[in-house]
Structure 1
Amino acid sequence: MARPRRRSFIALALASCCAISTSACSSSTNAAGSPGDGKGTIEFWTMPYWTGENDKIKELVEKFNASQQDVKVNLTLLEYKDGREKIKQAIAAGTGPDVWMMNNGLDADYLNAGSLASLDSLGYTEADTDMFLDLAKVNEHQGKYYGAPLYFDVGVMVYNPDTLKKYGRTKPPATWEELKSTATAITQKSAADGSGISGWQFKGMDDHVNGINSTWESFLCAAGGSLTSPDYKKSTQNSEAGRTTMNYMRSFYQDKTSPVGTSALNGFIDGKVAMFPFFQSVAMNVKAAGPKTEGKWALAPMPTGPKSGCSMVGGHSLVAGSQGEDLKAAGTFIKYMTSPEMTARYMDFLGIFPYKLDKVDAAVKAEHDKKVKADPVWTPILEQLGRNSPDLVLQDRHGWSTRWEAQKANIVAGVSGQLPVDEALKNLDSQVDQALSAAK
């Protein structure tokens, strides 16, 4: 853990509703350096974003440390279950990291408090940020970038081609109507022949309840819904689009097409779920099942809803604390970890390359193109990427922690029939409005 040093503290109200002061713990300089000269020790805290190979993060940090003498990075690897909260608590105590991982879209509490360093203060130029995909606007705030994207995720559909073919479908469903009819046919026909396969399962209506957030927001997006008003001050899910979305999702459980409580991922791996939605990186979990799933899975873009075929955008970025004594040193490390050369490697776990191909070096573009050509799974991923915008993520930034907890409770209750649709959506908006009001 970095040693506390002199700094100015900024009051910050976090999702826990307790006021804290925020600042990343500033870099401790080495014997040859002094504050601000770009030489020093950086504390880096992160969750394991390299899907399936946690040791890769340590390997990358070690390679950075070996590549030069000016900056040394100390790595603290956290777990997803409590990592974000540990970072917030450490920053509150003035002992937090200099650089840490954050969801794409960032956190409004940190931004409003001024506790994140803008990329230009870390040494990024306009030419550097102009290389980002347009989706990188999820990390903009008041005209500046505050996070450098490691990679993007987009919501896609995972399906078993053999199961679809067995029950008379030659291609994955392209619309909500086709999805429902395909899923219903598989569930009913497989019940009749004794196979007992669920045609569809919404990720998050199972033991991994947190997954309902990205699932719900993907389907709400396709119905033309929004999370907040344009000024981000009111929750807007209790709407025609919200009701359309929840009634559609609910219909899968009303007619027994989908079973509440069956794990989407585990059910798919075991051959008991034919299709489910989630970020494309979940394919790495499917592949990890080995012979059980080999040759038995594929990806498709999300089925088009009443308004569009968009889906939730995810992924991660690196950020730095604004009060660090050496932002230049932090910037050196962030630039290394999020460089086009490095992010091309993140495609190995299906992380979406966050740069415009016509802006990167020819060698990096060639590496990207080689990976896309070698694996057909990239075709639907990139098609889905082209359908998406930063809008929903920018809305999600406001009241994020309250919203995600409220959605887990109310969306699951509304979709499963435990609450009437209108009541579930009303409860959701009411809880998020309280958080948005408190943040004013």
Structure 2
Amino acid sequence: MNLLKEGIENRFVFPTTSTKKLSVDNHMQTYTVYKIRLDQLYYNDQNDRIATWISQYKAENGIMHMDTDDKKQYNRIIQSFITESNPEALKKTQNNIELIGQQESGVVLTDGRIIDGNRRFTCLRNLEQKTGKTQYFEAVILEHDIAHNAKQIKMLELLLQHGVDKPVDYNPIDRLVGIYNDIVENKLLTVREYASSVNQTEADIKREVEKAKLMVEFLEFINAPKQFYLARTMNLSESLKDLYSMLSKVKNEDSREDLKNNVFAQLLMAPVGDTNRYIRKIGKIASNTRLLDEYLAEQSDLTEKVCDAVEQYPVTTEKVINEHIRAKKEIQSEFARSTEKWVSKADGDASRNRPAQQAEKAYEMLDTIDINIFKKMSDEQKDDIREKLDLVQQILDSIRGELDV
């Protein structure tokens, strides 16, 4: 059904006096807002907010695509994802709509697919079920379809969701999945186009792309390719950020690859309760070139054991991870013991190197003084500098005396 034709003719859709300005294909235009009966609409399964939930459903049901033929069943499935992804935000929005009505209009396509407003649509569905009264979703209707206008629709979706609703309630992993799908996998958008749509710099998005690639590599490492929901349930966002930072500081390619695989193995095993804090500690070792290779060499057998454990299962699922792989407590203990030992060594090195680093900073600060300016100073100002230099000299003499002991 075309909402702008049959929808209006059958009185499922009604124009309102409200309008909304949208930029589609870089063309700003004012659109009429319509009231649309809820049963004429369906969720957008390509919404980045629920990307990991969609991947989980596909994996558990062995399907490649969501079936939209049965709209009622399809909507029930997607509604559960919208609800579970952020129940607190949904509750807040629903209370607001129940109190004062829908304030922000959404955007839908002529076939009823919702491009912007999945959460508001969910709230109205809940209220319809709660009150028994027919509810209407207020939205602009675009004469586009997802098959032929995918790029324009995605850019509009990003612009609206990151501009109006703000990306604060995006699960970071869902966002990485969206970035990977749009930029790397499907090549729907360039880094520049994505950055422009979400009002961020290209450098920021490039970093996000690299983190997204690390996420994909991790899932391949644990034999769960593109099972993005695992990255969400394992709460990998901060650890991926720290790993990206670590790898950027390691110049040797072999060491970088070994470090990546080592961290992947430890993310899977989760040797301690707070995995994010634990991985952050490894960053101290990675910053020390002298210690890093020794650390990786000591842990290479453990990394190999994790790879062997993964190979025992055709596909790594959440159940396999929790009930089998992480049940290998001896590997977890060895990882934790070894890492703590090398973190202590890295802390010791850092403490021993700190005086040299501070001396270098002091030299750099003194070296920036423009001595030509002394000619323009008063005698009082010069005396003040002499006093300061005397204090500096006293400290230098004291340090030299300790070094000579």
What's the TM-score bracket when you normalise by the shorter of the two chains?
Answer: under 0.3
**Which is bigger in relative contact order (C-alpha 8 A, separation at least 6)?**
1
TM-score, scaled relative to structure 2: 0.27
Greater strand fraction, Structure 1 or Structure 2? 1
Instruction: Work out which of the two has the higher radius of gyration on C-alpha atoms and give 1 or 2.
Output: 2
